[in-house]
Amino acid sequence: MSTLSRLVPSARGLFIFEAAARNRSLTATAGEFNVTQPSISRSIAQLERELGIRLFDRSPKGLELTDQGRSLYAAVREGLGTIGAAITAIQEQEKVSKTVVTLSLSSSFAAHWLVPRLGAFKARFPDVDLRFDLISGIMRGVPDNIDLATRIISDDDPHYYWWDFAPEVIVPVCSPAYLEAHGKLNHEGNGHGHVFLHLTDHDLREWGRIWGSVANRTTMKGSWHEFSDYAVILEAAIRGEGIALGWVSVISTALLNGTLSPASDRLFKTGRHHRLIAPRSRSLRPIVPEISEWLALQMVKELEQLADLLKFEDE
């Protein structure tokens, strides 16, 4: 670099040369630098004296690079391009200096549990931005580009780091207004007068053990609406449109604030656990366990508040 500074005393001269070679015009180059045309002409002449070579041939048609000028222009263009790309990359990094954490969640969990906590999350993690990869139906595998997800996995799954989040507990729920208008659901009845909100991905033959005989398609008297997005099911239930199966890990906030109520005395514990998981296929950033522990703590607090309502004792 010290040799270059002796060869070219002023870096500005190289910038002006690059612009003049690119524009092939003193007038256009002057406009680019917001100076007069004679000023550009003097700067080029000074650079030519410093280098001891002629860079341009002047003609009525404008500027034409000499052979030496073309060689220098190629080098300057490459060098300035590299510098410009590096500066742009650095500036872009500064724009996204906050840590971005990508979450793979059900749309229902995001909408009904996490969104109400985004303010508290931002207060706890002011330098973290979240990016959501949302799933409307059954939760399956986790893409490798995900930092953190909620899934049910076994204790010995070798593919993930994991943190306990919540036991899988399912409660039929509806709005308080629906409950007042229709009364509690008798699972062993025929469902007459009730509307049931069901996730399309859930086979009624499997989930009938929770719904009870009201799910028997041959004898039931109730109405059924099926949705492919569980978040919409819960929204419909909150609006008083029917009864839904409610996963406590998703509806805990709605139960506490009274927008949803148990539709019957049935509470089903599967024995499985929802977990916060991070793929082992990518490096575990320190912020991920911190976020996991914070989320788990929020859930623990809510489950404690729900203990009396749901008799949430261990089996």
Q: Over the stretch 223-247, which tens digit does the pLDDT of each residue have?
A: 889 998 999 999 999 999 999 999 9
* Amino acid sitting at position 166: A
**C-alpha distances in Å from residue 73, one per residue of 6, 21, 102:** 19, 7, 44
pLDDT at 4 over 80: no
191/187 Cα distance (integer angstroms):
7
pLDDT of residue 112: 93
CA distance 289 to 65: 60
| pLDDT band at 9; cut points 50, 70, 90 | low
pTM of the model: 0.65
Helix (H, G, I), strand (E, B) or coil at 184: coil
The string over 9-38, giving b where at least 16 C-beta atoms fall within 10 Å of a residue's C-beta and e elsewhere, is eeeebbbbbbbbbebebbebbbebeeeeee
The answer to whether the CB of 101 falls within 8 A of the CB of 90 is no
Confidence (pLDDT) at 253: 94
pLDDT category at 19 given cuts 50, 70, 90 is confident
Tokens 């909150």 sit on residue: 238
pLDDT of residue 118: 95
Task: Give the side-chain half-sphere CA count within 13 A for 132.
Answer: 13
- The SS3 assignment for 235 reads helix
- CA–CA separation, 276 vs 6, rounded Å? 60
- pLDDT tops 90 at residue 221: no
Query: What confidence category does residue 314 fall into, taking pLDDT thresholds of 50, 70 and 90?
Result: very low
Residues 6+ away with beta carbon under 8 Å from 69:
21, 53, 54, 55, 56
Taking CB atoms within 8 Å and a gap of at least 24, the contacts of 200-203 are 200/137, 200/226, 200/227, 200/228, 201/137, 201/138, 201/228, 202/245
Cα distances (angstroms) measured from residue 262 to each of 199, 225, 233, 254, 300: 18, 19, 15, 11, 20
